[in-house]
Chain A
Amino acid sequence: MRFPTAEQPGAPGPKSCIGYSLAVRRIGRADVAALLYATAVRWPTDDARPLGVISIDEPQARAIGEKSFMIDVRTAAALPITIEFFPHLGRADRGIQGAASAGLSRKIESVLEALRRRRIAIDLRGPGGR
């Protein structure tokens, strides 16, 4: 999907990248996807990685045809399911690269809980001027 950038949080970003689909919500008869950003930024050690960033190692990433990457739970987007934000919607798989393991889902849940306990804000982007 084309995640909005911090500079233009309401518009599709310049390039398509992978993300984690947290939920699909319905507003009226339209669907909106709530997503977590992925990042290719690397930290020198696991300890240096900030709270909220989950590492997807090489084997996990390879299973969905990607190189290792990080999921940044601190950055989310609520995006209308349109071709502008999801350029691969027209494909047979609708741009879905794979299903997250139960372990990853649990990890995301625990990280969200940790962020909530520490009152760490999430940057929510997408059209709507939040």
Chain B
Amino acid sequence: MLTFIIPHPTLPAPMAEGSIHAEGVPLRVDPVPLREARKRAKAEKRTLAEYVETALREKLKRAQRKPRKSRAPAIALRGPIPPGKLRKSRPAPLPGETKRQREKRDRLFHTVLDLSGVPR
């Protein structure tokens, strides 16, 4: 876990990517993620400060993104139903209905559309 504490004014400012005047911030970091971060930074041939800053930037970028709209199930269709959409509609599963019964309903539905002149 990264814990931010008050910036130490006496520490030299390390140069990190994307910033000309990077600010030195003493951090207390849990040794386990710190060890992992050091390992990964080394693998990427970067300093720990660069690695932590990149991780921080990515985290902040994600936080700024607009939350996705939840896809709540809609049960109501508003406005006109185009005949083409009606023809391409699929049978809604009914509780306890067998595949055969569903196919039969499907056939009857399309017969009604045929007889009412809805194009195939």
Closest residue of B by beta carbon distance from A34: B109
Please provide the chain A residues from 69 to 87 with a CB less than 8 Å away from any CB of chain B in the complex.
Answer: 76, 78, 80-82
CB-CB under 8 A from B118, the residues of chain A are: 124, 130
CB-CB under 8 A from B85, the residues of chain A are: 27
User: Given A109-B104, A121-B116, A130-B117, do A31 and B81 touch, yes or no (CB 8 Å)?
Assistant: no
In the bound assembly, the distance between CA atoms of A81 and B78 in angstroms comes to: 9
> How many of chain A's residues touch chain B, expressed as a range?
20 to 34
User: Given A28-B74, A30-B74, do A10 and B80 touch, yes or no (CB 8 Å)?
Assistant: yes
CB-CB under 8 A from A34, the residues of chain B are: 109, 112
Dominant secondary structure of chain A at its interface with chain B = mixed
Decide: B112 and A30 in contact? CB cutoff 8 A: no
Shortest B100–chain A CB gap in Å is: 13
How many residues in B have their beta carbons less than 8 Å from beta carbons of A? 32
CB-CB under 8 A from A27, the residues of chain B are: 77, 81, 85-86, 88-89
In the bound assembly, the distance between CA atoms of A30 and B82 in angstroms comes to: 13
User: Given A22-B105, A31-B75, A78-B86, do A126 and B114 touch, yes or no (CB 8 Å)?
Assistant: no
In the bound assembly, the distance between CA atoms of A1 and B47 in angstroms comes to: 70
List 7 interface pairs A-B (beta carbons < 8 Å), by A numbering: A23-B109, A109-B108, A124-B117, A128-B80, A128-B82, A128-B83, A130-B118
* Chain B residues with a Cβ under 8 A of chain A: 73-83, 85-86, 88-92, 94, 104-106, 108-109, 111-118
* Chain A residues with a Cβ under 8 A of chain B: 10, 22-32, 34, 76, 78, 80-82, 108-109, 112-113, 115-116, 120-124, 126-130
